[in-house]
Amino acid sequence: MVNQKKKSQVDNLTNDLKSTVNVLIFKIDKTTHQNLESLRKEMRKVNAKVRVVKNSFLEKAVNKMSVEDKKYAELSKKFFPLTGTSALVLLDKTWDKSLKVFNDFLKKESTISYKLSLLDNSVYGGDETANIARLPSKEELLGKIIGSMKSPTSKFVYALKYNTNKFVYILKSKR
């Protein structure tokens, strides 16, 4: 006979997976409760939800979702069965900020590591997720592009003014 409490937990997890587009699963072997709560607090600031899950419940929820969605079927084939204690981060559409916050927390806490992620309908392993988290955000990249476009113009203007400025400095020193 199926335990109703366990069935409701799987249903809640399935509803959470349906309501979000991007998911991060990470390992929390020997993490203290205080560290996990501070991670939850930081992730709440960027509209992400952290949930500790039982691997078997997560597998059942993903198997339910795999009937409706191919990406969950791919996730199930590649990474299940999961080992070790797992936690789930439900990311919003702007997952890059949340992933950056998580990666910064990961640098401070060595007991947490990436397992897998589902970002923009693509499934990534732990190493791939870590590489994605280290990439600069969209705003940083736009700033670098604009800065590189402005740089040649400002250098050209400086080159045009250089001889005139040098002549003015020589006249001032001779005065």
Give me the residue spans of the domains in the chain: 4-135, 137-175
CA distance 4 to 165: 82
Q: Which residue type is seen at 143?
A: G
What's the pLDDT score for residue 79?
73
Round the CA-based radius of gyration of the chain to a whole number and report it: 25
Supply the pLDDT for residue 92. Answer: 79
Q: pLDDT 10s digit of each residue in the chain, 175 long?
A: 467 887 887 777 777 777 788 888 888 888 788 888 887 888 888 888 888 888 788 787 877 777 777 777 777 777 777 777 888 888 877 787 787 888 888 888 878 888 888 887 777 887 887 787 888 877 888 888 887 777 677 777 777 777 888 888 888 888 7
Burial 37-46 (b: 16+ CB within 10 A, else e): eebbebbeeb
- Give the Cα separation of 73 and 21 in Å (integer): 15
4-135 homologous superfamily: Ribosomal protein L10, N-terminal RNA-binding domain (3.30.70.1730)
pTM of the model: 0.71
Q: What's the Cα-to-Cα distance from 48 to each of 89, 161, 171, rounded to whole Å?
A: 7, 51, 63
